[in-house]
Amino acid sequence: MKLEAEIKQERFESEHQKAAINVLLTANWLYNQNSLFLKQFLLTPEQFNVLRILRGSHPATLKLLDIRDRMIDKNSNCTRLVEKLRQKGFVKREVCAANRRQVDISITPKGLSLLAKIDGRTADNPWRQLTSRLTKSESSELNSILDKIRS
């Protein structure tokens, strides 16, 4: 759906303003689609992000700061997210042997299994649905544009 119809606004100050609003609206739409998809696995998008980060470092452990630095939403309460995932059995927290003030966090086999199950649901996964709407070339161009905005 076109931006104008979605927010019921015909005019914008500039194409730059329209583009910024379009990025925000699309990001919010994608977040909501992802949230609905992950609800069936009893996960929030932020919890899913933590699990993906830990899977990416597996079998190595990460510190809380390392996880937070890699998160999409830097304002998330990483401590709370890790604790909720620990209570569900998806992550493990261990005091570091070399530095007792430090906690090492890793993904458990149960967490890896859940991510594999989610990965297998390609048909209704909102991230995968982008492939039906954008070509590989369009996705690459979009990635370049979004990187350019943040640089």
Q: State the pLDDT at residue 57.
A: 95
Say what the pLDDT of residue 137 is: 94
Please give the pLDDT value at position 74.
84
Q: What is the pLDDT of residue 131?
A: 72
The pLDDT score that the predictor gives to residue 112 is: 98
- Which residue ranges make up each domain of the chain? 1-39, 43-145
Q: What average pLDDT does the chain have?
A: 91
Please name the residues in contact with 108: beta carbons below 8 A apart, sequence gap of 6 or more: 89, 90, 91, 92
Q: Which residues, listed in sequence order, are joined to residue 92 by a DSSP beta bridge?
A: 106
d(CA 147, CA 23): 13
pLDDT at 107: 98
Q: Coil, strand or helix: which one is 113? A: helix
Q: pLDDT tens across 22-41, in order?
A: 999 999 998 999 999 999 99
Instruction: Name the pTM for this structure.
Output: 0.88
Q: Give, in words, the CATH class of 43-145.
A: mainly alpha
Low-confidence stretches of the chain (pLDDT beneath 50): none
DSSP 20-79: HHHHHHHHHHHHHHHHHHHHTTT--HHHHHHHHHHHHHTTS-B-HHHHHHH-SSTTS-HH
